[in-house]
Structure 1
Amino acid sequence: MKRLTDLGRALVELFPERHLYVRSGGAMKAFVLTTRKQLVLAGGVAAGALWMGVATAAMLVNLFSASAADREIASLKAQSERHVADRQARLDSALARLNAASGSSSDMAAEIEKRHAALALLLTDLKGSPGAAEALTPAINRALASQDASPTRRVEKVRIGQEHLLDAADTYARGRADRLRMAFRMAGLSPSSFADRTGELGGPLIESKDPRALAAVLDIDENFAARIQRAAREVGDAEALNEAVDDLPIARPTASARQSSGYGVRLDPFTRRPAYHSGLDFSGPHATPIYATGPGVVAFTGRRSGYGNVVEIDHGRGLKTRYAHLSGFNVSPGQRVGVGQRIAAMGSTGRSTGTHLHYEVWVNGRAQNPARFLKAGQYVREIR
């Protein structure tokens, strides 16, 4: 109550009663401004100032937001225009070279045959690749659909069809390589360290470092040679990654057993205290078949402390897998095994509370999460 009294006294002191005298036409008028009226007037002025401030701030925010949106739209528009201009420049260049041939049908036919031969070298490497036929068939059909009566126009459409077919091949190969790279990243591996390109196909398409040299070898224009070479490199990358992914241990070690324990820290079944678990556990009936998750060489069979009966497989490139608590073996050290080959049977040997498989994946001497490899394996099966 005292605070309210003090506040009232302070307001009276700040806005004391004031008298205004206005003289108009010889008459004097007096106006009394009480403290209440002054407070109402001051509140109105403050509210107006606040409203003006808020409105100004909102206008500035909208102005800056609109400017940012305009800049983004301008950037996207410029990018689209550059793409259209590049495509148009390619077609204009093709037409210019066509017109420069002085109407010689034999010269035009020879040039198309050379470009066709270069395309054939590229498409040979794509033969049999999953999804290649579906990706390239529309472009091939468009190239064959020309019914123009003019020989010059027909030649022009064939050349443009070759451009579209090359674009389709490049897009397909790049997409396939990117999907395979994703499989390696899902497993926590670097694609570049596993893709060995020493045995790839492609011949001069890959070996020539300079597009000008490739253009001279294939006797085609430099721009087309550069695009052929870029597509060939994507094809080579996809094939190398496809071969490398087949060497990874990404298959399931059992056909139907359920996963009963994950990788990482968990409660130890014996001590009931948190402890690091270096693999995955799969539960199943006694003697459930255990399969190799990738091709490799059996590096060890026998007993290891805590693990009981163990099979270890070396998959090369620093990759190893370990299968523990087994009831028996179907392989011996030094034996080469393939993915899905039966190597052992599930048991409960070693430090085990019941029949199950303990499965580990090692990369360069360090245990990794096997679940990442199994997820990568599922992804590879889907994209194939």
Structure 2
Amino acid sequence: MQGHLARLRRSLRELFPERHLYVRSGGAMRGYVLTSNKQMLAAGGIAAAALWMGVCTAAMLVNALSATKADREIARTQAKYERWIADRQARLNSAVAQLNAAGGNTQQLAAAVEKRHAALAMLLTQMKGAPGVAQALSPAIAKALSPGNANPVGRIEMVQLSQDQLLDAADTYAKSRADRLRLAFRLAGLTPSAYLPKNGALGGPLIESKDPRALAAVLDVEPAFAERVQRAATDLSEADSLSQAADRLPFARPANVAEESSSYGVRIDPFTHRPAFHSGLDFPAARMTPVTASGPGVVAFTGQRSGYGNTVEVDHGGGLKTRYGHLAIIAVHVGERVAVGQRLGGMGSTGRSTGTHLHYEVWLNGRPMNPERYLKAGAYVRQAG
């Protein structure tokens, strides 16, 4: 063992032999001795720095690939919707075939249609005013209004078929909107369930009963139809709750600027030219370009912060705060309630800055978050609307 250590020491000393460095300045000559130990220590420091930069670069790549995971989840969700629609269509065709085989009673069929209409009316009333609902349901409504069979029984069967198709369209719309909003919250690193009513109760008479069979008895319709109505109403109510919560979160862009000059994470500091953690996003633009609130809240701080120059901080509640730095001027005061898109000041280059830009940060419970994730979440929320 000692022999191996001796050979290792000899190899290291051969690799890092003692060197003499002579520096001449002002007519005087100075000599420096670089021992083998000093050279090995310097080489070890350089290797450690290289390893640290490699780890930081890997972390940045992982963060950049997070958006692709969200896209894959959307693709899986879409495929799931297509399977659901195909399954419901098959069950619908089977029910219509059984009804035709049995011949059916016109009065009983008409009564069933009327009861279904009442359930659908309650659901559509709850959906009234929801963004995008008209575009989602228009094809099914237009098909339901098209001329039907001249036979009375045939007409009633066509109405039932149209009711099923309309319910399918409403269920798909509600599920899609709720899933997209849930994905937006997860993309921002937030838990969707934390923004739903604390007691788990969602609004609407169609989802007050947890048991679909009880709802079927109240509406006097078949249990399968009642379950589908309740599922659509539940998804719609959850989507409305998440949409209202999203309106209170900093999901908007803080400036009408298309490009970002520096992202969140490790970067080369423009002053020290060394790797350093950058806790926000930089938006470059002309001086006095409006800087706006990314969400509604209360102004918690205005003034100078070390390194940030003229700064505005907005408290959005729930532990969320946003910070806007390097401003040329500040247009709000502490305690003022601001709306999303309201002007907070103008871009500048105050503080530790190399040029006119906005430095924007998002903080959750005292920790800096990646603002890019909140901007992407805001884009998904707008698509869901």
Q: What's the TM-score once normalised by structure 1's chain length? A: 0.71
* Cα distance change on mapping 1:305 and 1:86 into 2, 3 Å: same
8 A contact 2:188–2:373 mirrored in 1: yes
Q: CA deviation at 1:119?
A: 0.2
Q: CA deviation at 1:342?
A: 0.1
8 A contact 1:286–1:347 mirrored in 2: yes
Structure 1 match to 2:228: 227
Structure 1 match to 2:204: 203
* Cα distance change on mapping 1:115 and 1:356 into 2, 3 Å: same
Query: Could you say what secondary structure the match of 2:148 adopts?
Result: coil
| Greater RCO (Cα-Cα under 8 Å, separation 6 or more) | 2
1 CA distance for matches of 2:360 and 2:275? 20
1:71-126 per-position Cα deviation (integer Å, ceiling 9, x unaligned): xxxxxxxx999777634444356668983xxx362x44333222101101111122
* Cα distance change on mapping 1:217 and 1:82 into 2, 3 Å: closer
Amino acid at match of 2:168: D
8 A contact 1:121–1:202 mirrored in 2: no
Q: Does 1:86 align with 2:91?
A: yes
8 A contact 1:202–1:236 mirrored in 2: yes
8 A contact 1:323–1:358 mirrored in 2: yes
8 A contact 1:98–1:108 mirrored in 2: no
* Cα distance change on mapping 1:98 and 1:165 into 2, 3 Å: farther
In the TM superposition, what are the counterparts of 1:269-348 in structure 2 within 5 Å?
269-348=270-349
8 A contact 1:326–1:349 mirrored in 2: yes
8 A contact 1:197–1:237 mirrored in 2: no
Query: Could you say what secondary structure the match of 1:298 adopts?
Result: strand
2 CA distance for matches of 1:159 and 1:83? 14
Q: CA deviation at 1:250?
A: 1.9
1 CA distance for matches of 2:315 and 2:99? 54
Structure 1 match to 2:257: 256
Query: Could you say what secondary structure the match of 2:118 adopts?
Result: helix
Query: Could you say what secondary structure the match of 1:260 adopts?
Result: coil
8 A contact 1:201–1:236 mirrored in 2: yes
8 A contact 1:146–1:157 mirrored in 2: no
Amino acid at match of 1:367: P
Q: Which runs of 5+ in 2 are unaligned?
A: 1-83
Q: CA deviation at 1:326?
A: 1.8
1:113-140 per-position Cα deviation (integer Å, ceiling 9, x unaligned): 2210110111112223333222212222
1 CA distance for matches of 2:302 and 2:86? 64
8 A contact 1:257–1:284 mirrored in 2: no
8 A contact 1:197–1:240 mirrored in 2: no
Q: CA deviation at 1:179?
A: 2.1
> Which of 278-287 and 252-261 deviates more?
252-261
1 CA distance for matches of 2:335 and 2:168? 47
8 A contact 1:143–1:158 mirrored in 2: yes
Amino acid at match of 1:147: G
Structure 1 match to 2:170: 169
* Cα distance change on mapping 1:219 and 1:145 into 2, 3 Å: same
- Aligned residues with identical type, % of pairs: 60
Q: What's the TM-score once normalised by structure 2's chain length? A: 0.70
* Cα distance change on mapping 1:97 and 1:196 into 2, 3 Å: farther
> Which of 119-128 and 299-308 deviates more?
299-308
Structure 1 match to 2:129: 128
Amino acid at match of 1:86: R
1 CA distance for matches of 2:178 and 2:229? 16
Structure 2 match to 1:268: 269
1 CA distance for matches of 2:195 and 2:238? 11
* Cα distance change on mapping 1:80 and 1:126 into 2, 3 Å: closer
Q: CA deviation at 1:278?
A: 0.4
1:312-341 per-position Cα deviation (integer Å, ceiling 9, x unaligned): 111122221001122222112221111110
Query: Could you say what secondary structure the match of 2:353 adopts?
Result: coil
* Cα distance change on mapping 1:97 and 1:203 into 2, 3 Å: farther
1:201-246 per-position Cα deviation (integer Å, ceiling 9, x unaligned): 7522111111122122222222211111011111112222222222
Amino acid at match of 1:189: L
Query: Could you say what secondary structure the match of 1:117 adopts?
Result: helix
Q: Which runs of 5+ in 1 are unaligned?
A: 1-78
In the TM superposition, what are the counterparts of 1:364-383 in structure 2 within 5 Å?
364-383=365-384
In the TM superposition, what are the counterparts of 1:128-207 in structure 2 within 5 Å?
128-196=129-197, 202-207=203-208
Structure 2 match to 1:40: none
1 CA distance for matches of 2:243 and 2:234? 14
2 CA distance for matches of 1:228 and 1:249? 33
Amino acid at match of 1:289: P
Q: CA deviation at 1:196?
A: 4.2
* Cα distance change on mapping 1:87 and 1:282 into 2, 3 Å: same
> Which of 278-287 and 348-357 deviates more?
348-357
8 A contact 1:205–1:232 mirrored in 2: yes
Query: Could you say what secondary structure the match of 1:149 adopts?
Result: coil
* Cα distance change on mapping 1:197 and 1:179 into 2, 3 Å: farther
* Cα distance change on mapping 1:97 and 1:132 into 2, 3 Å: farther
Query: Could you say what secondary structure the match of 1:259 adopts?
Result: coil
Larger Rg: 1
Q: CA deviation at 1:198?
A: 7.5
